[in-house]
Structure formats: C-alpha cells, structure tokens
Amino acid sequence: MPNLAALPTDIHVHIQPWDMMNPRAFETIRENREDFPLIERLMGDPKALVAWLDEIGLGRVALINYVAPDVMGFTHEVNPWAARYRDAAEGRVIGFGGVHPPACDDVKDMMRRVVEEWRLDAIKIHPPHQGLSPDAYRTGECPELEHVYGACSDAGLPIMFHTGTSVFPGARSRLGRTLVIDDVAVDFPDLKIILAHAGRPLWMDEAFFLLRRHPNVYIDVSGIPPKRLLQYLPRLAEVSHKALFGTDWPSPGVKDLKRNLDQIRALALPEDAIDRIVRKNALDLFPIPS
C-alpha cells in the first residue's frame, strides 16, 4: 500500500454507473475516446482502478456521482453504487453522491441514508443537469435544498457544485452561474463548498470573488486545460490554499488524467502552491481515515 498522504489526489473523476446513463449523454462521452476500453474496465472493477492509480502515481480519486434523471439518466441509485465502489477500492476513492429533490419523496430520509447508511464523503449538485439553481431554496422553487445543505453542514460533508457551462444535450448552462452560491455560503457558513471548474468559462471572476469572500469556499480546477490555467486564473497562487487539482476525466475534452497532472506540476507557480493544489488541500478536506 503506497503512502497516500504523500501522493496527489484528483478531486474530480467521473466513474459512474454508465448502464444508468441515457443514450444521448452516453454518446457525448464515448465519441472520439480512444481510451474507452480502459474507462469501461474501471467502471466495473474497483480493483482495476487501484492498479491503474498505482501505475500513474496517484493516491486517491474522488468519484463524482450525482442525481440528474432527465439530462443524464442518473437516479438516487448512484448513492449505494458509489458507496459500494468506494468500499471495494482499498481507501483510494472519495465517494461523492447526490440528491435531486424533485425526484425524491423524502429528502430528509435520503440525506440520513447518505450520511448514516452509505457514509458517503460528499455531495455533488449539478445545477445545469438537475435544472435547479443553487439558491432555489430561497425562491420557493425547491425548499428541500435547505435541508440538503443543512444536513451536509451538520455532518461535515463538503458539497460540490458544478459551476460554469455544460455541453451535454439538454443541459441548462444559465444555472451554472456562480454568484448565486454566495447565498448558500452566507446562509450556511460552516458548509464546505467546492466550486467545480471555478465557473469556467463565463463566471470565473465570480468564483474568484467567492473564494476570497468566504472561508469555506474552494475551487477545483477540473475541466480547465492545465496549460491555460494561469490565463484563466492569473491570481491562482494567491488562492492556492483553496484550490484543488481535478481533471473531470473522462468528460469530453479531457484526454489524459496523468498528462493533466504533469502539466499542472510544470506551471509557473511556487512549489509549495503546486503541492497544496495537487496534494495537501484534498488531504485537509478529506482526511485519510486512520
């Protein structure tokens, strides 16, 4: 067993139960992927994932699952799936689950199961794929979201929001706007919030503002081509204690997880900033269980 605390973590990988995915979404991912056989093998076999992580020198990966029945086909069944996968992956997986109040009869019970029964590590909300604005608990459109945030806050589970646009058929990119998450951070000051993709490409200035405004708001840099990261986030070094390495592999446009990691390590940033981004911040947010 490698020393996981010394190795990098990819905080944003999509290994999901693809048999649930609707055909249009599936094709969006499968198109032009030369590494499809590898992806398929990893989907079905946590041990294959462990072997692959050893091969590429990665400690842990966060597997991002969420519930988006209409756009993606994913139901709440992703939660027990993510827990089972994580439990079989020898400590190498951080398991994200999801909740979609419009498709859930009892949100309180779902959150209880997320925390107590499946012991998931975090929740992912994908506003453009769920058709839900993060502040929908304030507008009356989805009051149950308040319970989702409260339950995560009480249990110490971080919550990740997709921020920025999405190219999947049916996705509503308007809902990827980042500034509305200010309300969530104000109303739930203890909730740890990760802004996936840092609002790319339209709302990165909003993400940067939230990062500096709220002590518990973080970004991940997934989905941003590493070579252009400093163009998109020129002040990344200033916020390197709140930025997490992630790839979004195997989403469209993300070719190779290991190459992304190497390119991040080669950026013109101080060495300690790079170490925080690829390794230390993820350890602080998701400590290795003793």
Q: Give the DSSP H/E element, type plus range, for residue 259.
A: helix 257-265
- Could you tell me the smallest distance in angstroms from the CB atom of residue 215 to Zn ion? 25
- Could you tell me the smallest distance in angstroms from the CB atom of residue 251 to Zn ion? 6
10 binds Zn ion per the rule CB under 5 A: no
Residues in the interface with Zn ion (CB under 5 A) total: 1
Stretch that binds Zn ion, among 24-32, 169-177, 198-206, 246-254 (CB under 5 A): 246-254
Stretch that binds Zn ion, among 71-79, 186-194, 229-237, 242-250 (CB under 5 A): 242-250
Rank residues 121 and 248 by Cβ distance to Zn ion and give the closer one.
248
Rank residues 113 and 226 by Cβ distance to Zn ion and give the closer one.
226
Measured between alpha carbons, how far is 246 from 17 in angstroms, rounded to an integer? 20
Indicate the angle between helix axes 36-44 and 46-56, nearest 10 degrees. 130
Stretch that binds Zn ion, among 47-55, 79-87, 95-103, 245-253 (CB under 5 A): 245-253
Measured between alpha carbons, how far is 91 from 286 in angstroms, rounded to an integer? 12
121 binds Zn ion per the rule CB under 5 A: no
Contact in structure between 201 and 164 (CB atoms under 8 Å): yes
Using DSSP's 3-state secondary structure scheme, residue 73 falls into: coil
- The residues, ordered by sequence, that sit 6+ positions from 11 with a Cβ below 8 Å of its Cβ are 61, 62, 94, 194, 220, 222, 244, 245, 246, 282
Residues 175-194 that bind Zn ion (CB under 5 A): none
- Could you tell me the smallest distance in angstroms from the CB atom of residue 1 to Zn ion? 28
- Could you tell me the smallest distance in angstroms from the CB atom of residue 163 to Zn ion? 11
**Torsional sign, CA 52, 55, 56, 59:** positive
- Could you tell me the smallest distance in angstroms from the CB atom of residue 160 to Zn ion? 9
Residue in the shown chain whose Cβ atom is closest to Zn ion: 248
Site track 250-279 with Zn ion (rule: CB under 5 A), x = hit? ------------------------------
CA distances from 155 to 90, 125, 147, 182 (A): 23, 17, 12, 21
Rank residues 67 and 237 by Cβ distance to Zn ion and give the closer one.
67
248 binds Zn ion per the rule CB under 5 A: yes
Rank residues 144 and 168 by Cβ distance to Zn ion and give the closer one.
168
Site track 64-103 with Zn ion (rule: CB under 5 A), x = hit? ----------------------------------------
Rank residues 10 and 206 by Cβ distance to Zn ion and give the closer one.
10
Residues 189-218 that bind Zn ion (CB under 5 A): none
Q: Give the DSSP H/E element, type plus range, for residue 12.
A: strand 9-13
Rank residues 51 and 167 by Cβ distance to Zn ion and give the closer one.
167
- The residues, ordered by sequence, that sit 6+ positions from 204 with a Cβ below 8 Å of its Cβ are 198, 232, 233
Contact in structure between 166 and 199 (CB atoms under 8 Å): no
Residue 95 phi/psi, 5-degree rounding, is -100, 115
Residues found near Zn ion in the complex (CB under 5 A): 248
